Amino acid sequence: MELFETGNVVKVCAPMVRYSKLAFRSLVRNYDCDLCFTPMIIAADFVRSAKARDSELTTNNSDQPLIVQFAAKDAQTLANAACMVAPFSNGVDLNCGCPQRWAMAEGYGACLINKPQLVKDMVRHVKNQVDKPNYAVSIKIRVHKDVKKTVDLCQKAEAAGVSWITVHGRTADERHQPVHYDAIKTIKDSLCIPVIANGDIKTLRDVESIHELTGVDGVMSARGLLANPALFAGYEYTPLQCVWDWVDISLKHGTPFTCFHHHLIYMLERITSQPERKVFNGLSSTSAVIDYLHNTYGSL
């Protein structure tokens, strides 16, 4: 992908269940986000059901570049799903990092890091069957306790033609432990393709320091962007302009109230007092939220 050829660190919005949908992607793109992922979509459901396709993937002409992330456990299903989304996206990503029990019990997510041959087959099938030049096929992984196993997985995926690899620098068992940036550096040093680092990116300074520490080609943020969608533009906290941009975008997209409200709860968390948060979190309509914002912060 041309993004990786500029020499700049590529700034990426992570795939987040319920959160990294079109409206939020539109918002972060206004604030220096270079590349966005959809939330994880189960490939088998997507292929089988038109209803799933309509509800899981919404995009538009300005939602570019876009990577559609799938959970899959067999190569042909992933390839079928990729062929369906190729006209509307710039690539697909195979989720090999979701640590949730249900996903791993179904054969999805982080259990795939222990099945390098299957990952290799899935990458190859997509590369061979999607008829679109420069269409990306990436994987998003977690690290093993033994980094040599992770390097082996990544080298096999590279040999199969994977476009880049996103590395969340924790094992499948780790949640809030420190990120293993040393493991990410080892992986980057072992590959010729681009590597994106994921884990605890909360400020633009984090982006720069992790790039220097690991040599990665890009950084991906999840919770950091939820708390501050303007993170990549260098803001320490969510600026008021960004809050009102979210209101405008949400109204334009018809974002359901729960999603609209939850994003604002995240954005305002660091700039409101506990009593203010209690009041705001209890609001139950879009009009009540907008009135509260006007009364508390005023218009721009």
Catalytic residues: 98
Determine contact, residues 34/10, Cβ cutoff 8 Å: yes
209 Cβ neighbours under 8 A, 6+ residues apart: none
With b meaning 16 or more CB within 10 Å and e meaning fewer, what string describes 221-235?
Answer: bbebbbbbbbbbbeb
Instruction: Give me the helix-helix angle, 286-297 and 257-268, nearest 10°.
Output: 30
Tokens describing residue 127:
């590369």
Cα separations (Å) of 204 from 9, 228, 250?
Answer: 11, 11, 25
Maximal CA-CA distance, the chain: 58
Q: Rounded to whole angstroms, how far apart are CA atoms 6 and 12?
A: 15
How many C-beta neighbours within 10 Å does residue 63 have?
A: 16
106 burial (CB, 10 Å; 0-12 / 13-18 / 19+) is: middle
Q: Determine the Cα angle at 227 with ends 225 and 232, to 5°.
A: 35
Q: Determine the Cα angle at 190 with ends 184 and 193, to 5°.
A: 90
- Please choose, from the candidates 32, 9, 30, the residue with its C-alpha nearest in 3D space to the C-alpha of residue 207: 9
